[in-house]
């Protein structure tokens, strides 16, 4: 790529990121740029580059060859940057209002240059600070109805779907999820990370054979079902929002999997707010209701109007499918609640509770709710059963 000076990968610095932005003609020659590295996730470098004079700004995201959250001892493929850029391109076509614009991407340098969303707030941070994001549940319901329907066997022609499945084979990132969400939290694994006060609760999980059987069934679904192209890591840290707008970022874990996985991650990450702040229960229940109602209505509309498969194209099949998605979502939400509490990668909603007694109580609630969802997921019939 002529626009990039080096031919081998190297991590960007603030000054090389600014130089790259000029070479990519993102800003006029001679612009005085301000650059800051703002990445606060587990895996990547994120540079915000702005030109005061024109007021323009962009984001350059670069994958590191290891997991930043652990360090260089955990190597990680750079191919995830290409998966992410490709996924953003697919999702942008399907749900344009909810996906940022990508201006440039490069496989060797593992970079994606995209729209700066600094006018929005990371949903997790905003929710913790008491912000409302009134349209977020509706927007994410609509986003998922579109992305999950139009990438499935019911929204694509058979050959197109199989081609996309091949394009999004993502073994390294899937392995992270397989280990950190499905396997490690259910054993005394070295990756687990929890406060000593939770040891007895963790041991209870590890001894619960019924829980582990149901978690194994959910893992089987994750490993084997190619229902739709998933975001793969759709927690509230992957959503930017304000009162009017919602954007879904960071689909580096994208792959073909069970639709309920994305749905369940959204549900679990909304529930962390209720668990941390029991007084928010009504609000969280209402968010989850709106999210599910929007998803199921939009999905049903697309199914009825645009289904490409004549055999399954009837109301009874649709009802079967929506119930399956809901049951899967409940189970996957349970896995997310548990892994964010005793596994490697936590959430600020719970870790940020200053009072130790309250924090441990909240974490115990997350484990209990997670276990309940996993054990009962195959019997759930409606969103009210899930909200409880
Ligand atoms: C080593 S990566 C840990 C977690 O960060 C990502 O955002 C995913 O949620 C992953 O499970
Ligand atoms: Mg991420």
pLDDT(88) > 90: yes
| Architecture in CATH for domain 14-115 | 2-Layer Sandwich (3.30)
80, 84, 173, 176: residue to mutate for ligand 1 pocket, most atoms within 8 A of CB: 176
- pLDDT tens readout for residues 135-147: 999 999 999 999 9
- Position 69 scores a pLDDT of 81
pLDDT(359) > 80: yes
Portion of the chain with pLDDT greater than 90, in percent: 92
pLDDT(7) > 50: yes
Phi, psi of 154 (to 5 degrees): -100, -10
Calculate mean pLDDT across residues 108-135: 97
Give, using CA atoms, the residue closest to atom 4 of ligand 1.
Answer: 345
**Residue 70 pLDDT class (50, 70, 90 cuts):** confident
3-state helix, strand, coil in the chain (%, to 5): 55, 15, 30
CA of 250 relative to ligand 2 center, distance in Å: 5
Answer yes or no: same fold for 14-115 and 121-387.
no
CA of 41 relative to ligand 2 center, distance in Å: 6
Q: Count CB atoms within 10 A of the CB of residue 167.
A: 16
Portion of the chain with pLDDT greater than 70, in percent: 98
pLDDT(155) > 50: yes
- pLDDT tens readout for residues 198-242: 999 999 999 999 999 999 999 999 999 999 999 999 999 999 999
Calculate mean pLDDT across residues 247-255: 97
Which ligand has the nearest atom to the CA of 74?
A: 1
What dotted CATH number matches 121-387? 3.90.1200.10
- Position 51 scores a pLDDT of 95
pLDDT(3) > 90: no
DSSP output for 26-84: SS-TT--EEEEE---SSSEEEEEEEETTT--EEEEEEE-SEETTTEEEEE--THHHHHH
CA of 302 relative to ligand 1 center, distance in Å: 32
Q: Where are the domains of the chain?
A: 14-115, 121-387
pLDDT(1) > 50: no
- Position 40 scores a pLDDT of 82
pLDDT(2) > 60: no
- Position 224 scores a pLDDT of 98
- Position 30 scores a pLDDT of 83
Give me the chain's average pLDDT, please.
96
């Amino acid at each position: 790529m002529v626009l990039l000076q080096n031919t081998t990968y190297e991590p960007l610095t603030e000054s090389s990121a600014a130089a790259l932005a000029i070479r990519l003609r993102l800003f006029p020659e001679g612009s005085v740029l301000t650059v800051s590295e703002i990445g606060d996730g587990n895996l990547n470098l994120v540079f915000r580059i702005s030109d005061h004079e024109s007021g323009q700004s962009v984001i350059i995201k670069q994958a590191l060859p290891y997991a930043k959250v652990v360090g260089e001892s955990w190597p990680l493929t750079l191919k995830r940057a290409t998966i992410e850029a490709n996924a953003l391109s697919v999702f942008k076509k399907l749900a344009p209002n909810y996906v940022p614009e990508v201006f440039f991407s490069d496989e060797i340098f593992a970079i994606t240059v995209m729209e700066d969303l600094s006018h929005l707030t990371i949903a997790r941070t905003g929710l913790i600070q008491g912000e409302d994001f009134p349209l977020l549940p509706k927007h994410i319901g609509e986003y998922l109805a579109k992305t999950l329907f139009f990438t499935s066997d019911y929204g694509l022609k058979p050959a197109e779907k199989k081609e996309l499945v091949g394009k999004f084979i993502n073994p390294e990132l899937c392995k992270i999820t397989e280990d950190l969400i499905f396997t490690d939290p259910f054993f005394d694994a070295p990756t687990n990370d929890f406060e000593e006060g939770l040891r007895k609760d963790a041991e209870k999980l590890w001894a619960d054979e019924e829980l582990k059987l149901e978690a194994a069934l959910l893992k089987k679904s994750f490993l084997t079902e190619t229902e739709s192209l998933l975001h793969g890591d759709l927690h509230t840290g992957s959503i930017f929002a304000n009162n009017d707008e919602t954007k879904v970022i960071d689909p580096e874990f994208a792959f073909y999997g069970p639709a309920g996985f994305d749905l369940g991650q959204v549900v679990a990450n909304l529930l962390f707010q209720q668990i941390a702040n029991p007084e928010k229960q009504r609000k969280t229940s209402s968010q989850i209701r709106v999210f599910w109602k929007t998803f199921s209505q939009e999905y049903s509309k697309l199914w009825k109007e645009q289904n490409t498969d004549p055999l399954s194209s009837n109301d009874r099949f649709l009802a079967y499918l929506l119930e399956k998605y809901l049951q899967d979502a409940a189970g996957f939400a349970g896995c997310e609640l548990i892994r964010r509490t005793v596994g490697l990668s936590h959430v600020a909603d719970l870790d940020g509770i200053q009072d130790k007694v309250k924090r441990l109580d909240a974490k115990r609630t997350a484990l209990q709710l997670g276990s309940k969802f996993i054990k009962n997921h195959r019997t759930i019939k409606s969103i009210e059963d899930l909200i409880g």
